Amino acid sequence: MNAGNLINSSLRMINVLASGEQPSAAEQTDALTILQQMMDEWLAERLLTFLIQRTGNQGGPQTFPLISGQQTYTLGSGGNFNIPRPAKIERISLEWLANPAQPLELPLEMVNEQRWQTVPVKAITSTLPTVVYDDQAFPLRNLSFWCVPTVVSNVILYYWSPLSIFTDLVTDIQFPPAYIKALRYNLAVDLAPEFGRPSPPEVALQALASKAVVESMNLPAYESKVDPAVIDPKLRAYNWISDLPVSNK
């Protein structure tokens, strides 16, 4: 699918084009801008993200080494960790290389600015860090590690992998199942006000339904967690009204 065919289809849905008719060059340029803006917005929606990418030697495209004595690293195009800036980082781990043949992956605790503020002495050094603070800056994120590492190890990132965005009208781009219909109908809804046309109700409904199919496919599988008081064998019952365990003593 290329952007030109996608745009033509969406314009026909809102009755800007008749069957077999072609938009002008100016109309194509305007529509391509709307398509790019829509897909840029989709980059910020978790349920439209089909892949959580993992970096590192064991399953990702790149290795990010920590340097002894360096606490903060930039992440983004041209940064210390040179990949396109992801919309969101889900998890960060440390790959400890004490045994290079069998590196050990150690999850790091990701903290917000409030937790980072509570670290009184940020320049403390240790063999390996246990905490990382992501300030989510743009265009380069800053990842600060605590304690400051004194040995070389690798950082493993789990981040939202972006959709490929159309940059021109003729380049074909492939998408996972269900995305093409969602792109066609949702683009039609976004193009309608730009071209001074109402969005037909059936098109708007199909836009919602097709996007919901994509979101259901990308829904994360969460692990169910239970309060330990509920399953403690020393307890006879748990009172959900008082939110207190009932002892069998």
Of 64, 53, 61, whose CA–CA distance to 90 is shortest?
Answer: 53
The pLDDT of residue 7:
97
Whole-model pTM? 0.82
The pLDDT of residue 63:
83
171 is written with which tokens? Answer: 């380049």
Of 136, 95, 133, whose CA–CA distance to 117 is shortest?
Answer: 133
The pLDDT of residue 229:
56
Q: Between 56 and 178, where is the model more confident?
A: 178
Please answer whether residues 34 and 193 qualify as being in contact, where contact means their C-beta atoms are separated by less than 8 angstroms.
Answer: no
The pLDDT of residue 174:
95
Class (C level, CATH) for 3-49+165-217: mainly alpha
Give residue limits of the domains in the chain. 3-49+165-217, 52-160
The pLDDT of residue 56:
74
Please report which helix (H) or strand (E) contains residue 209, including its range: helix 201-217
The pLDDT of residue 222:
72
